[in-house]
Structure 1
């Protein structure tokens, strides 16, 4: 088994790569050694900005022996192909959401990794932040008794008013469910475990939308996916959940509330790493804020946990199995909305164990 920091390559030098590079470069247990992109000039510019010594094509980066873990930040349509190429080169893979565009692609990724004894991980890793980790510990400690029900929602009028190129967010693989759903569904599974079946109603308010800012302002573009989704999720032996994902709402809302036999928890926005985390008991006149424990380091802590787990030979938390389960949930919700019937969920995954007390991304633990 190798020792010392895990060598990482970033594949995909788009906007999100900056957040990953800033954080990963600050974590002593990983070492970013290369950046790859189809646009090699862009890869070189990003590498220079973040003091990464190597840049180039995917093939060139995969040929580097010091690269052990590929962080796949390409567009969703390329997630599976980049993951498969990386696995075939003998590298572990951690990918941005979703794991793949569909379950068939995702299954190929997981099978390839299994056949080679390699790991797959996947975003989001926000459930590892202080806010949601504190929620998991509060729920497991019995702070609200046994969970009975969950209400979750992310609602807005959509991103086209501020995003200069929002078309991909309304194309296949987009919409509020696939864009924002992974944060909410991953948070729910980390709290309550796997889902057994789902049902949904879906709507598309308009067939076209208008870009509201940037050089393409005023341009019409097509809407290919549902823009309002109401889903029911059944957690066997635990709670049921209702979740709304909407780009059609004049009300801006981001919330998860867990109702228990002895109170309720109000969770922070699951697209963040911080709080607030609130609790309310049967006799409380209002919500009370709970103290948080954990990290708010941001995107990349899932990569770090995976790197440390590779060295330790232990399971990593933002796992491929978790990402696959969430992808199946989103696919089944979409199918249920089309077919007006409950859809069973074939995959399963364990609710990840909370990070240990004192888990510090900035402490060197690998020697």
Structure 2
């Protein structure tokens, strides 16, 4: 396979791990040739840090005939518009989550891509990591019997310390717990259990505004409006018959993730899908508890245990050349968006919301793949 040339738009915090992996881990199939940002100094810094040959404006990157895939790492509010610009420039595009902030923008992106014969991919790609792929194999092998229920809990701190450079984004739609952290859990659940057919839920705000309380923050003492729900609970009904409960909040202290799949032969504890593999002392191992109360620790059966953000881009680069489907697809992200918006709509209407979109489960990664594979 030849190397597919990539241009990165958006050089904020998350760009560092993407650029590291795209230039050092998946560089057998990816070649990052340009980076761009609205702040030229940020692009120049990333270009120097990761030996990218060109640092330029967004317009120059989109006009660069070398660039085949645009990796869109902008703020959530800009995802759809940048994706459309990239597609109109004749580029495939892979974007950070959320895919869009409404269904209309998401569909416009997908329809334009289809009309131009281009691919669209979207984060998260953590479901391609060792943890979720191992759990997926356990489920497919019948290790826990028939899955019938799941429980996901995402308990996070709020933005009151003001230390993140773009902390205001976490107070808006797209930075809320369901649209920001929810995609990791929802995507993992769909990858393991299949698509969702209906949802219900409650979405609330504990406060209408946040005052920055950390004296080390440059915005200490300033007050900002909370524009999106910060405490969300939902019930998801899957086509497979599984019923899942999801709790996501950004009103606590620290970080407490939990994901469990319950089956007729055993209960599976899944490491945090925000990561690619278990982290000892923090997230813990994959375990199955059996009816006799025996608990078994499960060894990883798949690769990509380290932070491999960018694996979805590499997988798409292989798909571009082989014609097979890519796994972290725009269609999958559209289904996750549909679920997320459905939860908000269910809360507002006080009714179940039927999910109109559906998706085939992404193909599992084969066993024995190493850190730069993905040609299957």
TM-score (norm 1): 0.95
Equivalent residue, structure 1, for 2:62: 62
Query: How far did 1:41 drift?
Result: 2.8
Runs of 4+ in 1 over 6 A off after TM superposition: none
1:333 to 333, 338, 343: 343
Unaligned runs of 5+ in 2: 279-284
Matched, 1:186 2:184: no
- Contact 2:76-2:175 at 8 Å conserved across structures: no
Unaligned runs of 5+ in 1: none
Q: Distance in 1 between matches of 2:147 and 2:353?
A: 23
Q: Distance in 2 between matches of 1:57 and 1:173?
A: 25
Query: How far did 1:218 drift?
Result: 2.5
- Contact 1:192-1:238 at 8 Å conserved across structures: no
For these two proteins, the number of residue pairs brought into alignment is: 363
2:236 to 233, 236, 246: 233
Equivalent residue, structure 1, for 2:298: 290
Equivalent residue, structure 2, for 1:266: 269
* Residues 365 and 151 (structure 1), Cα distance of their counterparts in 2 relative to 1, 3 Å cut: closer
Query: How far did 1:66 drift?
Result: 2.0
TM-score (norm 2): 0.93
Query: How far did 1:363 drift?
Result: 5.2
Query: How far did 1:161 drift?
Result: 2.9
For residues 147-296 of structure 1, what are the structure 2 equivalents within 5 Å?
147-161=147-161, 163-164=163-164, 165-213=166-214, 214-249=217-252, 252-275=255-278, 276-285=285-294, 287-292=295-300, 293-296=302-305
Matched, 1:7 2:5: yes
The alignment partner of 2:20 has SS state of helix
Q: Distance in 2 between matches of 1:250 and 1:121?
A: 33
Query: How far did 1:280 drift?
Result: 1.0
The alignment partner of 1:156 has SS state of strand
- Contact 1:193-1:351 at 8 Å conserved across structures: yes
Query: How far did 1:365 drift?
Result: 6.1
Q: Distance in 1 between matches of 2:173 and 2:82?
A: 19
- Contact 1:72-1:95 at 8 Å conserved across structures: yes
- Contact 1:301-1:361 at 8 Å conserved across structures: no
Equivalent residue, structure 2, for 1:323: 333
Q: Distance in 2 between matches of 1:328 and 1:76?
A: 16
Q: Distance in 2 between matches of 1:364 and 1:352?
A: 14
List per-residue Cα deviations over 1:176-222 (Å, max 9, x = no partner): 11111111100110011110000001221111112233111222211
